[in-house]
Amino acid sequence: MTTDLSLNDPFAVQTMPIAADAVAVEPRLLADIGATYARFCIERERGVFEQIAVLPCADYGDFVSVVRAYLSSVPDVVPKHGAMAIAYPIDGDAVRMTNRDWAFSIQEVQQQLGLSTLLVVNNFTALAMSLPRVGPEGRVQVGGGAASSDGVIGLLGPGTGLGVSALIPANDRWVTLATEGGHTSFAPIDERELRVLRHVWKTMSHVSAERLVSGPGIQLIYEALREGVAGAAADLSTAEIVQRAQQNTNAVCVDTIDCFCAMLGTVASNLALTLGATGGIFVGGGIVPRLGDLFLRSSFRQRFEDKGRFSSYVARIPTYVLTADNLAFHGVSSLLADHMPDRDGGNPLLDRVRNARDALSPAERRVANVVLENPRTALNDPIAAIAKLADVSQPTVIRFCRSLGFEGLADFKLKLGSGLTGTIPLQRTQVRRQDATPDLCAKVLDNTISSIMHFRESLNVDSVDRAIGLFREAQRVELYATGNSSVVALDAQYKLFRFRIPVVAHTDASMFSMAAEVLGPKDVAVFISSSGQSAELIRAAQTARDRGAAVVAITTNQSPLAKKADVCIAVDHSEDSSTFVSMISRILHLLVIDMVAVGLAVRRMPSPTSTRGKHEGPDSQHTLAPGVLISHIA
């Protein structure tokens, strides 16, 4: 097994240098709540953690008690906002920890602690969010392989339990994947592991990976492997087993840790194959970093690469052990910053709400407080949720928006979203059969607004500019689309024809290749597709290129159709097309056509100093069609 380690203590905890944002914020309470320990800190400046404390969970009867115990140790700090990572799948308001008898309501805890904002996330979601900040000094590579810069990243963490998460690249940012992968069924690979499984089956009908690849799991493995071994000590703790294995004073303990590491290697490689994690697999948690050289000499990497026909595939994927400290703090800090922008130098619209608050009615003022304290919630939640948070009626929310000069909640959300810093979450709310007409309309509008804002952030304007240039020089434009995209092609035909550009839209797939065969070097072929997978469109695009025509694709980035294009205007929006037609994708494609049309109109307008009626350059043979600019240009 190869490794890039050269230190005597390869898994010594490193202090991970983070590029400080140097942004002062109101004091924020950050926490990492595990089954055994609760870690707390105060953040006054982004990425700078003060007054760090670690409290044993067993000393406190409930969740609120341990948080209050920490806050009492920092009496000079009164945080208004908090973010906490906790060992539990977060899905709603109710939280019940898996490996500790703590249960609570997030909303009630927020009220009891006097916090304006409380963000609670799964601990491995937080840990995953810290990974893009971890450099070579905060990790140790085990084995070979090289990470793909745009690949999915997998994360495992054996501790009291087994955490599993992932990071998925999305344009220029990362999306976390919260999972409960540690509870997948355990499968033995060799006789030793089958022996362990048979031992555990005596007391458990279902054995998950977490039962064995964890701290308590090490004890179970030891008890199974010591059976029949004369003189083997009973009732050893996990710490004692690890210590004796490191000192090589007990053969069963050494065998136990090697078995544990091999099992972890199998789980890690399964995760790598499931995710296609070419960005690497990271191992965190409280156990592996403490094993040091024992882990490097173990069967972990050998088992990771032992995947039969796919051994060469996983061999290219690197595996790392995380050694940096405060990783969960960095994760929840990033999530909280994304959830609510900084008060100082933030959003002009929020300043507008803050300045107008005193002039509002008492009920409207409560809505203003909700918006100021939780702007991300106000951006994404439906009107009923906002009204409930503010303890007002839904019409009061509308009156609040109109008091500030907006047409309604949708207009307010659009303006709010356009100014918020950080990532604007893509919020999709499923329309259901039982929805009343007001809810149905609100969901369609909210989904569309959120998707347009996301598209605004990800749009490659250089591609649009290049497409406009091609249309300006084109002798002829031909549009190719099928199904739901046919509407977009017909709309583009109508708009381009008004510029007196010879244009035709093809919507019959059987005619695509024949139509493309008559194109020439001065023509432009435009292919519109939500998926970019249509074989007919791909063949026609290749034919157009072979004939010398310029190819423009309006489709998903990195799709087969996009790769055939000279210019791709990427629209990366996924929809449940098995239930509904691609409504939002169609709207985004229509917006692209509008951008191109407005760009053409602007480029063709005579300059203010030119004589009316004169046109210079390549557009001189065309006349600007009346009415083209009515909707877009004053």
pLDDT at 630: 37
pLDDT at 7: 33
pLDDT at 339: 65
Residue spans of the chain under pLDDT 50: 1-22, 342-346, 419-428, 577-579, 581, 608-634
Q: Which helix (H) or strand (E) holds 535?
A: helix 535-546
pLDDT at 583: 72
Among 544, 549, 594, 547, CA closest to 569: 594
Residues 6+ apart with CB under 8 A from 543: 513, 516, 517, 519
Distances (CA, A) of 172 to 132, 146, 169, 175: 12, 21, 7, 10
Strands of the sheet containing 523-528, edge to edge, are 503-506, 476-480, 523-528, 550-555, 567-570
**What's the DSSP call for residue 136?**
G
pLDDT at 148: 87
pLDDT at 347: 56
Separation between Cα atoms, residue 367 and residue 527, nearest integer Å: 46
CB-count burial class (<10 Å; 0-12, 13-18, 19+) for 124: buried
pLDDT at 376: 67
Separation between Cα atoms, residue 45 and residue 25, nearest integer Å: 6
Which pTM value belongs to this model? Answer: 0.51
User: Within a 10 A sphere around the Cβ of 357, how many other Cβ atoms?
Assistant: 15
pLDDT at 98: 74
3-class DSSP assignment, residue 405: coil
pLDDT at 315: 95
pLDDT at 582: 59
Domains of the chain with CATH codes: 24-133 (3.30.420.40), 137-323 (3.40.367.20), 341-425 (1.10.10.10), 459-619 (3.40.50.10490)
Q: Which helix (H) or strand (E) holds 54?
A: strand 48-56
pLDDT, tens digit, for every residue of 25-69?
678 999 999 888 999 999 988 778 999 999 999 999 999 999 999
Separation between Cα atoms, residue 45 and residue 245, nearest integer Å: 43
pLDDT at 421: 32
